[in-house]
Amino acid sequence: MSTVPEYDLAVIGGGSGGMAAAKEAAAHGAKVVLFDYVKPSTQGTTWGLGGTCVNVGCVPKKLMHYAANIGHTLHHDAEKYGFEFAEKPPQFKWEKLVETVQNHVRKLNFGYRTGLRSAKVTYVNALASFEDEHTIGYTLKGKAEKVSAKNVLIATGGRPAIPADVEGAREFAITSDDLFSLERTPGKTLVVGASYIALECAGLLTGLGFDTHVAVRSVLLRGFDRQCADKIGEMLRVNGTRFHQKLPTKMARGDDGKIAVTFSDGSADAFDTVLYATGRYADTTGLGLEKAGVQALADGKFQVNDREQTNVPHVYAIGDILKGRPELTPVAIKTGELLARRLFAGADKKMNWELIPTTVFTPAEYGAVGYSEEDAVQKFGAEEVETYLWEFTTLEHAAAHREKVEWERADDFDVDFPTSALCKLVTLKNQNEKVVGFHFVGPNAGEVTQGFAVAMRAGATKSDFDETVGIHPTDAEAFVTMAVTRSSGLDFVAAGGCGGGKCG
């Protein structure tokens, strides 16, 4: 008789998707084991149970974004609204922010451990790999162990990439894996990349008062709506983030302790911190896939069918390791839960990959659902697409008369403070102006976008938006009062002062 423990499901990866699938499977009577192990970052940073989102992603990022918004409000709005401070400006302590963020993260780590225990999921803090198609091996406290599983779910997620061809980058640069627990003050920071992670980090660092520079190769937020992406760049610039169309080619530690960076145009500068956010790779090496006959693509990701099966039918994959799928925490959670219900609850519902909402938490947040204007035109044809637009200044910002941040040295962005909100609906003329693209740049975009995502999934048309009574005065009100179209050629930029609604 075999002494190897047998399970209905073995989950490799304790991030949001893996834990959701494990707990859902256990709730339907499955015997489940979950493996989680954090490989140190290039700078030696590790963390607890919960995966990227909880420890080095969504949660600490949102908390620091909130802190940055507090800082911007204190420095730029508070006096206009009647607040006076004995000490001007109020002082910020990076160490205290990190302490607050990490205390909350550790609380979540503990909650996940107890949650798995309550769900009767066996949790193993060890690096797991296949020994054959049903056997998972691992080492715990120096002893080799193994389990057998009828089904295996790979949910190992991704990690930030630092290029090997930039001398000194892997030695001196940090990533988002390191930023949110960084013990020292970031100081003057160079962020390398144009992704949403790069811009979110740059935005929050600027808002916290650090001299922040972004090195980019080309356009910002590739894959997002171009007008909205440009708006995000505009708002970052006026808030003080400085952009450079060049990339690092070499890094070295100077005698003063700073990181001396040489750029592709031959210029050089020194920074206290360099943060890379140029992409992520699938964390699937070392899983022993070949021993189970599981095939991964050249980039380490998996091409699965509509039931999340790899080429080995009882081996599944979810989350950021799927090719061509959104790398978003709620997507991994939903996919994992649906998979567990199909395996152990007799359900048949599969993941719906359409109309997935998301938000970029830059200083001016950007929420989106569905098609960008460019993608809609490409798919349906320019003659079938009608875009409704409205650009205005948020009421609270208009009253405070926000101004762009002035730097001691010349900046390449010299305009008055722009309108701070942009609303866009992309519709299809031949489908009764069904809304297929929703885009909002402005405060609290995540909260605004979530509700409209439900309406879009229900098939809302422009007339449904028009017939909805707005909440006044709000930015979101603009979406139920929009009348200017792209094709009309009329000016869609309005003076601010009454939220997104009409004032009389």
According to the 3-state scheme, what is the secondary structure of 400-462? Answer: HCCCCCCCCCCCCCCCCCCCCEEEEEEEEHHHCCEEEEEEEECCCHHHHHHHHHHHHHCCCEH
Q: Please report whether residue 95 resides in a domain.
A: yes
On average, the pLDDT of the chain sits at 94
Residues 408 and 306 in one domain: no
Strand partners, 421: 392
Are the CB atoms for 51 and 157 separated by under 8 Å? yes
CATH code of the domain in which 415 resides:
3.30.390.30
Query: What's the pLDDT score for residue 494?
Result: 75
**Token reading at 116:** 């798995």
Q: Please report whether residue 351 resides in a domain.
A: no
Query: What's the pLDDT score for residue 401?
Result: 82
Q: Please report whether residue 394 resides in a domain.
A: yes
Which domain range does residue 476 map to? Answer: 365-480
Which of 314, 344, 374 is the last residue in one of the domains? Answer: 344
Residues 178 and 241 in one domain: yes
The 10s digit of each residue's pLDDT in 117-143 is: 999 999 999 999 999 999 999 999 999
Q: Say whether 472 is catalytic.
A: yes
Cα–Cα distances (Å) from 455 to 330, 342, 367, 472, 474, in that order, read: 18, 27, 15, 20, 18
Residues 336 and 372 in one domain: no
Residues 126 and 15 in one domain: yes
Nearest alpha carbon to residue 296 among 156, 174, 495? 156
**Token reading at 361:** 């938490």
**Which helix (H) or strand (E) covers residue 66, if one does?**
helix 58-76
Using the Cα atoms of residue 65, residue 70, residue 75 and residue 79 in order, give the sign of their dihedral: positive
| DSSP state, residue 63 | H
Q: Please report whether residue 269 resides in a domain.
A: yes
Query: What's the pLDDT score for residue 408?
Result: 41
Residues 300 and 422 in one domain: no
Q: How many domains does one find in the chain?
A: 3
Q: Provide the strand spans (E) within 285-395.
A: 315-317, 358-360, 366-370, 385-392
Residues 251 and 152 in one domain: no
Lowest mean pLDDT among 123-132, 200-209, 407-416: 407-416
- What does residue 237 show for φ and ψ, rounded to 5 degrees? -65, -45
pLDDT at 88 over 80: no
Residues 31 and 114 in one domain: yes
The 10s digit of each residue's pLDDT in 353-379 is: 999 999 999 999 999 999 999 999 999
Q: Please report whether residue 491 resides in a domain.
A: no
Q: What is the mean pLDDT of residues 388-393?
A: 95
Nearest alpha carbon to residue 228 among 363, 367, 355? 367
Residues 132 and 175 in one domain: no
The 10s digit of each residue's pLDDT in 214-249 is: 999 999 999 999 999 999 999 999 999 999 999 999
Q: What is the mean pLDDT of residues 495-499?
A: 58
- What does residue 438 show for φ and ψ, rounded to 5 degrees? -125, 130
pLDDT at 495 over 70: no
Q: Please report whether residue 485 resides in a domain.
A: no
Query: What's the pLDDT score for residue 3?
Result: 85
CATH code of the domain in which 124 resides:
3.50.50.60
The 10s digit of each residue's pLDDT in 248-267 is: 999 999 999 999 999 999 99
Lowest mean pLDDT among 32-41, 80-89, 132-141, 478-487: 80-89
Active-site residue identified among 28, 75, 244, 472: 472
Which of 255, 278, 301 is the last residue in one of the domains? Answer: 278
Q: Please report whether residue 224 resides in a domain.
A: yes
Q: What is the mean pLDDT of residues 76-98?
A: 90
Rounded to an integer, what distance in angstroms lies between the CA atom of residue 65 and that of residue 88? 22
Residues 340 and 414 in one domain: no
Residues 378 and 451 in one domain: yes
pLDDT at 413 over 50: no
Lowest mean pLDDT among 234-248, 313-327, 416-430, 468-482: 416-430
The 10s digit of each residue's pLDDT in 332-347 is: 999 999 999 999 999 9
Percent of the chain with pLDDT over 90: 89
Residues 177 and 227 in one domain: yes
The 10s digit of each residue's pLDDT in 294-334 is: 999 999 999 999 999 999 999 999 999 999 999 999 999 99
Helix axes 196-207, 58-76, angle to 10 degrees: 40
Q: Please report whether residue 487 resides in a domain.
A: no
The 10s digit of each residue's pLDDT in 451-466 is: 999 999 999 999 999 9
Confidence band for 409, pLDDT divided at 50, 70 and 90: very low
Percent of the chain with pLDDT over 70: 95
- What does residue 51 show for φ and ψ, rounded to 5 degrees? 80, -170
Query: What's the pLDDT score for residue 502?
Result: 61
Q: What is the mean pLDDT of residues 77-96?
A: 89
Residues 220 and 104 in one domain: no
